[in-house]
Amino acid sequence: MAQANEVQSAKSNAKSNRLTTKYGINGIPLLSVLDSLSLPLLTGYEFMHLIFENLLPNLALFWSGNFKNLNQDQPFVLNKHVWDAIGASTAASKSTIPSCYGAAVPNIATDWSSFLAEARSQWALSIGPILLNHGFEHAKYYNHFCNLVHVINLCLQYQLSREELEEIRTGFIKWVRNYEK
């Protein structure tokens, strides 16, 4: 609600527009005035924003050495030539992937910020596992990404068994713990 208040009470339309873009909200939701509703508890987490608009962009920033002020000598940062080749191959893939699978995916090395969730999804689930193979100095970073892809694919199934739900739960827990290492 603090961000919603900040957007709504901005001193100018330009400032309000910048905050709207930054936070992804336009202002205070109308339903928030009802004491009987607790919006954070009602809305829950939204998969598209958590995974395709947050996690995957952060991974791309890690791999390219562009995440905040992180030291580029980290073992999970891809060599610039490798990252550029992955980007070029990503852009070239549009001629080999039927349009029924989604919009053409741009060059990940140069156009990542213009990716929409659809393109990030397509890249992560279809293109990335191929292009990242043997890209990292240590295979554990590639395997870590493939574990994420596996859990995301489970989440996108139309039906889930109890065993698959448990695999999703434990898979994300394990993935996050490894990510934090």
* pLDDT of 138: 92
Residues 11 and 93 in one domain: no
The residues of the chain scoring below 70 in pLDDT are 31, 37-45, 71
* pLDDT of 100: 83
Q: Specify the number of domains making up the chain.
A: 2
Residues 83 and 25 in one domain: no
Residues 6 and 59 in one domain: no
Residues 114 and 139 in one domain: yes
Residues 135 and 51 in one domain: yes
Range of the domain at 137: 47-180
Residues 15 and 103 in one domain: no
Residues 140 and 56 in one domain: yes
* pLDDT of 142: 95
Residues 134 and 116 in one domain: yes
C-beta separation of 100 from 121 below 8 A: no
Residues 7 and 91 in one domain: no
* pLDDT of 176: 94
Residues 121 and 37 in one domain: no
Residues 55 and 74 in one domain: yes
Tokens of 78: 């891809």
* pLDDT of 43: 59
